[in-house]
A and B are shown apart, each in its own frame.
Chain A
Amino acid sequence: MKNLRLILPSLALAALTSTGCWLVSGQFIVPVELTSPLTVASATTIAAAQVDLNTNGDYKDHKADLKGLADLALLGIFTNTGAGALDVIVYMTPATTTYTTAAQLTADGTKIKVWGPFTLGVGASKEIGWDESAALFGAAGKAAVLSEVKGDGIFTLYAVGASAPYAFKLEKGVAVVVIDAGK
């Protein structure tokens, strides 16, 4: 019986330590507010939303221990101000960029589609839900954002229409990153 009393806790301890220090870890929400309103008047008048995660205390506290992303979302109120139906797509450039036309963004070989499409009818305005937004991030987009989150934490987002002509705005926009950090 004495042996059993030792064996069970020892097995538990061995299981806990054999795969590293994953027990000392957590998931933390890092929200970054975007410029508001973010107005896209047309394909020749787009706007950049620069994101600097270093402005968030949780991100700074856990930056050295970042292992992955638990969740991602782009939140806010999208309004279709154009004359046709709209599919909003969001691209990311790893560097801080300030493109003002879709053509400039298209020419950037480092850009990657991270989110969308989010469909809005003519004149429609919608506050996107957290669950709905999380589902609009593709695998490649998540990987790209993770790379930036594990890097300098600074990148640029561009929301554009899938096909011109388009016009819309994003109000009270927030990029939400849930980081997975562990010792």
Chain B
Amino acid sequence: MNRRFMIALIALALVPAAASARGVGLGVFGGASIPILQDNATQGTQFGARVPVNIVPLLTVEPFYAKSKLGDKTDTFAGLSYTRDGGEVTSFGANVMLNLGGPVSFYPFAGLTSSKLEVTGSEDVKKTGYDFGLGFGIAIVPKLRLDVRGELNAVVTDQTSRKYGNITGGVSYALFSMP
């Protein structure tokens, strides 16, 4: 899917949603990104920002930006050691989550991303990604919430995919919320 088209689509979808939202927040997150079944990269880090928009009770849409820096891969061939850049993954996307509410909650989520894979010496790959996972949230003080999430993110590269397991912790602040 065209990257600009997808971002525009997400933005358009969120304008009316945000206008009539029951709550809007702002959050940041960071953690580990683990390549799955990828010999040419190792565990790295991920950070990003997200804007949870509570549209209707139980349902939250969350546009986000995430950037992963994967670990380099070092291997030995013919007795010599070589290191390959693990690359970076930059994603814009949106998750939909089932928000059960309350000060402590578990919530499933799934979403779409427009992702760019960059590795030194290789052409950039821009593709659509899918993600799903489970989060755990706890409100530590009014308006401030901590979240821990585990997700599988797969960027589809034609008939295969690059998959990442992301484990992140984050904090979000409720800019406004209806009672």
Contacts and interface: CB of A to CB of B under 8 A. Distances in A.
Interface string B138-162: 0000000000000000101111111
Nearest to A28: B39
B78 A67 contact: no
25 contacts: A4-B58, A4-B98, A8-B97, A16-B130, A16-B154, A23-B161, A27-B38, A29-B75, A31-B77, A33-B77, A36-B78, A68-B157, A68-B160, A71-B122, A73-B82, A75-B80, A76-B78, A130-B82, A131-B83, A131-B121, A133-B121, A134-B84, A134-B119, A180-B160, A181-B160
Contact of B40 (A20, A68, A172, A178): A178
A107 interface: no
Contacts of B119: 71, 134
Interface in B91-146: 96-98, 108-110, 112, 119-122, 130, 132
A12 B82 contact: no
A117 to B, nearest CB: 15
Interface string B36-68: 111110000000000000000011000000000
Nearest to B83: A130
B166 to A, nearest CB: 15
Interface of A: 1, 4-5, 8-9, 11-12, 15-16, 19-20, 22-23, 25-29, 31, 33, 36, 67-68, 70-71, 73, 75-77, 127, 129-135, 172-174, 176, 178, 180-182
B69 interface: no
B84 A71 contact: yes
B98 A22 contact: no
Interface residues of B, number: 38
Given A15-B130, A33-B78, A36-B78, A22 B84 contact: no
Would you call the interface of chain B mostly helix, strand, loop, or mixed? strand
Contacts of B121: 130-135
A25 B78 contact: no
B37 A27 contact: yes
Nearest to B110: A12
Given A26-B37, A134-B122, A68 B159 contact: yes
Contacts of B79: 172
Contacts of B75: 29, 31
Contacts of A181: 160
Question: Max chain B CB contacts within 10 Å: which of A28, A31, A70?
Answer: A70
A4 B82 CA distance: 49
A71 B96 contact: no
